[in-house]
Amino acid sequence: MQLPPLNALRTFEAAGRLGSIRAAAEELVVTPGAVSRQVRVLEAWLGVPLFRHEGRTIQLTDVGARYLEAASQHLSAIAKATNQVTGRWRSEETLQIRSYTLFANNWLIPRLPRFKRSQPWIELELDTSSRPEDFGRFDVDAEIRPNPHQRPADGFDSDLLFTDTVVIVCNPDYQAEYRLHEPADLHRVPADGFLRSVAAPLLWERWLEASGIDGVDPSRGARFGDSSLTYRAATAGQGVTLAPRTFVGTELNAGTLVIPFDARGQLLEFYLFHPADRPRRRAFSAFRSWLLAESNAQSVPAGAGRAE
């Protein structure tokens, strides 16, 4: 990579953003002469003028304005990434959590008002994703995600939050149409009736194996970016899908989804991951204690087939 002198680039960014050599000098805690020298170093390296000097003021050239926009964007990104990795920018009151969208939508967010009442001093920043590659990057205080076989890279401690049974669900009219009353009845479901999430690409295969159901191919059903969307599609009568029982409790109670039959199924585990070598800040410790207390009653008894 051909990079310019980074100190000169940082100085140019301050001068261009503030529109003043003197203001840049004050921000950088150097003399105005030092700012001017660094700008000249960068202009010489680039071979183009970045400022026009008009009396005691400076104006960006067209090239300088374009270069400032790009430089500011990337310097800000570097600063943000550095602060996220080191945690130096966070106050004791700020807490960054990344959660699987499914867990956030169906479990965490409905409970957050209780957390705010118990810990009103914490400013929680919740980021969600259904992409496994977005996890394990050490850029947040903690992550919530499923199953130990999907753990991020080494360097994380973990707490098991709860274990839930994966059940098959569908709209009651869909159950009646395809007469779904026992596992063998899945052979009546059309090939496109097995609703799947790209966040859990092997869930159907593992569930069918754990349930002892043979001869069913779930690979041609509709694919959705998040499991919550498969629940909505099932509620709309588009097919059958799999869900942790807790996460579709509202729909089951309302009768918009039904469990057409019981099966041995499997268990789905959710974990809280946090960097092992990072000091535990007060906000994280409070959130962890609250989360473990909230999840304590969620685990189901052992006995179903465990997802591996």
- Selection from 207, 240, 208, 245 nearest residue 222 by Cα: 240
- Selection from 6, 7, 27 nearest residue 17 by Cα: 27
Query: Residue 104: is its pLDDT beyond 80?
Result: yes
Q: Is residue 277 within 8 Å of residue 155, measured between CB atoms?
A: yes
Q: Where are the alpha helices (DSSP H) in 91-171?
A: 101-103, 109-118
Query: Residue 305: is its pLDDT beyond 70?
Result: no
pLDDT at position 148: 52
Give pLDDT tens digits for 254-303: 999 999 998 866 788 889 998 887 778 889 999 999 999 998 855 443 33
- Selection from 216, 205, 235 nearest residue 307 by Cα: 205
Q: What tokens appear for 148 in the block?
A: 């130990």
CB atoms closer than 10 angstroms to residue 114: 12
What is the sign of the dihedral through the CA atoms of 43, 49, 52 and 55? positive
Query: Residue 25: is its pLDDT beyond 70?
Result: yes
Q: Whole-model pTM?
A: 0.62
Query: Residue 16: is its pLDDT beyond 80?
Result: yes
Q: Is residue 154 within 8 Å of residue 273, measured between CB atoms?
A: no
Q: What does DSSP say about strands 123-129 and 94-100: parallel, antiparallel, or unpaired?
A: parallel
pLDDT at position 91: 62
Q: Which domains does the chain have, with CATH numbers?
A: 6-86 (1.10.10.10), 92-308 (3.40.190.290)
Scan for tokens 């400013």, then name that residue: 123
Query: Residue 152: is its pLDDT beyond 70?
Result: no
DSSP 186: G
